[in-house]
Structure 1
Amino acid sequence: MTTQTSPAQSTASTRTAVVTGAASPRGIGRATARRLASDGWAVAVLDLDGDASQATAEELTDEFGVPARGFTADVTDEASVDAAVAAVERDLPVIGGLANIAGVTSPTRFFETTLEEWNRIMTINATGTYVVTKRVASVMRDNGYGRIVNMSSVSAIRGGGVFGGVPYSAAKAAILGFTRALARELGPVGITVNSVTPGVVDTDIRAGSTTPELEAKLSADVPVGRQATVHEIAALFAFLLREEAGYITGATYDINGGSHIS
């Protein structure tokens, strides 16, 4: 077993970070879980794929020497989330951080969308963030401390124009309003709430819905000339989850390679 340490370990080592959507091999969630483990957090990996969650957690413990557990969780189902978070409370140190990363996208044009697809995109992205946050924030409120970071998207700011269509942009915009209102409400009880709005990222979230030509165009449209890596997004999550970020709340952090000026 190889154990890595960092300056952040002294503040994170007695707390658990809950990371949703963290089992995909090339996903932002998994990269964030790894970054937090390297910073000394205990990590709870929540994903619909319970076996992959546990495998990811075992890798974190083996590589970084921190307590980590993987749990099956459907972020849209209150009972599923409640059971997972109860297990986190039972098996790991006190919860201090939450990274809401679980989500899906869809490039469907507006007039080709269906109500079923609209509900699916909104429910997984926006309602899922609400369900997990409500359960975890109740633990943080009781302890008087917490850091919550929600995954939005550049599509919420620009109104699409990257890959996701109208339902995705609407869902991610809802997360921005949710974040700001919740930050106002939870600030007095010691909890910060922020959001991250990545531009195009090199992940598998577009798998099956893209082409090499589209991927090349997405990169070419970014002023820095490339897609973000999952590690760059993970670093921002890790910063906002640190104890030292306690005076940052209700903020939206753009990380898009200059897409807003293109």
Structure 2
Amino acid sequence: MQKLKTDSGRPRILVVDDEAAILRFLKSALPCEEYSLHFAENGHAALAAAAAARPDLILLDLGLPDLDGVEVIRRIREWSPLPIIVLSVRDREDDKVAALDAGADDYLVKPFGVAELQARIRVVLRRSLQQAPEPVYRFDELEIDLQRRKVTRGGTEIQLTPTEYDLLRLLANHAGLVLTHGQILKQVWGNAYADQQNVLRVTMSNLRQKIEPVPSRPRYIITELGVGYRLKSA
């Protein structure tokens, strides 16, 4: 059977589970010559790893020690469509529905067989790899590659925090259009932050320090006084 390939040669899989027995099982079920495995043992580590490791697939347990797996799915879906397969002992219908409604691509109840797991992974990866890649936006010297989560200016890569990247990505997807403070806060931080304009101002200032040639005179992100912000059209 032909192996699925990504740009790195092997699909990158982020395994999120705090049970040592499951981690040992998955290491043996997913051989290193076929998959590149990364691991996280709690929800916050999973969110950080999803942004840093840029996996092709996440295998996610719901019963994590800090965040419920459904909340992890929701947070990832705020910025990424990357495939998520839930691996959980929860076999109730409402648990499955909650995870799928939050954005999971598939749900597998523990215990499960190696062959079934590998088949589910192949199906989800095949579907993901067939999707059109996310675009690359260019604004003068600024380039935003959404597929690779990479931002450069004049060919030099700029290191952004996940929140700074989410903010820039939102503006890039609406280039030339004004986004209000409330719209940005809800999309990047969630509904609970809809009135927290100071949070947006601080993050915007940090982002401009990194991407603008002269932060005090922005050429890329334009302020619409009293309304919001817009990214200059390409």
Q: What range is the shorter-chain TM-score in?
A: 0.3 to 0.5
Indicate the structure whose relative CO is greater, using CA pairs within 8 Å and at least 6 residues apart: 1
Larger radius of gyration: 2
Higher strand share: 2
TM-score w.r.t. the length of structure 2 is 0.37
TM-score w.r.t. the length of structure 1 is 0.34
